[in-house]
Amino acid sequence: EVTIPGGSKKTLANVRVGDHVLVGDGTYEPVLDFIHLQRDSQVEYLRVSTRNISRPLYISADHLIFLFDKDDDAVFAADLRVGDRLNTIMSNGEIAPDDIVDIQLETSIGLYAPLTPSGTIVIDGIIVSNYAGVRNHRLAHQMMGMYRWWIRIFGPAGKRGNEEQVDVHWMLQAMEKFARLSIVENLARNEFFEDMIHSTALL
């Protein structure tokens, strides 16, 4: 579930393009598009349970998620271990750690990957990245600036978000292949390269 203005909850299945949702800095941002949307697909998820949140987080293994002691870097959910501390949003908007107490593999119906301006979203109280498949969140976010620019001109692939399926846009597929190159991941650690990518994104 995501949190919408006023503190109410909404399931990802009911989120639409244009809805405002809680993101990683404690503010609300609009859903710009869906990177990927498959309402009827059977998907393997990691069910991640934490100490202080009653509802578990369901996240795909290759999705990026933030650890409390890793600043703004992120890791694949597949790399999470019991005892790791995740970033949670408190009712006052502050970020606090919550310990993972259990991780299980489960199969569920539906795949939802909303895109926000900040590249973050709060799911079931836990801050997660919008991105998957690329190990570096900052690189993925800077490169996605080009796609956010595309959306401004041509509109979102997900239109209103009530489609049954939104395949990954060809531009995103190309950017993911580029970002997965080891040389690019190494360069991404260089501030000059990151600034260059940010400049070309125009956002």
pLDDT 10s digits, 76-87: 999 999 999 999
Q: Classify residue 43 as exposed, middle or buried by CB count within 10 Å of its CB (0-12, 13-18, 19+).
A: middle
Q: Which residues contact 168 (CB under 8 A, 6 or more apart)?
A: 35, 36, 176
Per-residue b/e over 163-185, b at no fewer than 16 CB within 10 Å?
eeebebbeebeebbeebeeeebe
pLDDT of residue 193: 39
Structural domain of residue 76, as residue ranges?
Answer: 2-201
CA distances from residue 19 to 31, 69, 131 in whole angstroms, order as listed:
6, 30, 19
pLDDT of residue 188: 47
In the chain, how many domains are there?
1
Which domain CATH number covers 179? 2.170.16.10
Q: How many residues does the chain have?
A: 203
Report yes or no on whether pTM surpasses 0.85.
Answer: no
The pLDDT tens digits for 120-173 are 999 999 999 999 988 889 888 887 888 888 788 877 765 544 555 455 544 555
Q: What is the mean pLDDT of the chain?
A: 82
DSSP strand pairing (74-76 vs 85-89): unpaired
pLDDT of residue 140: 84
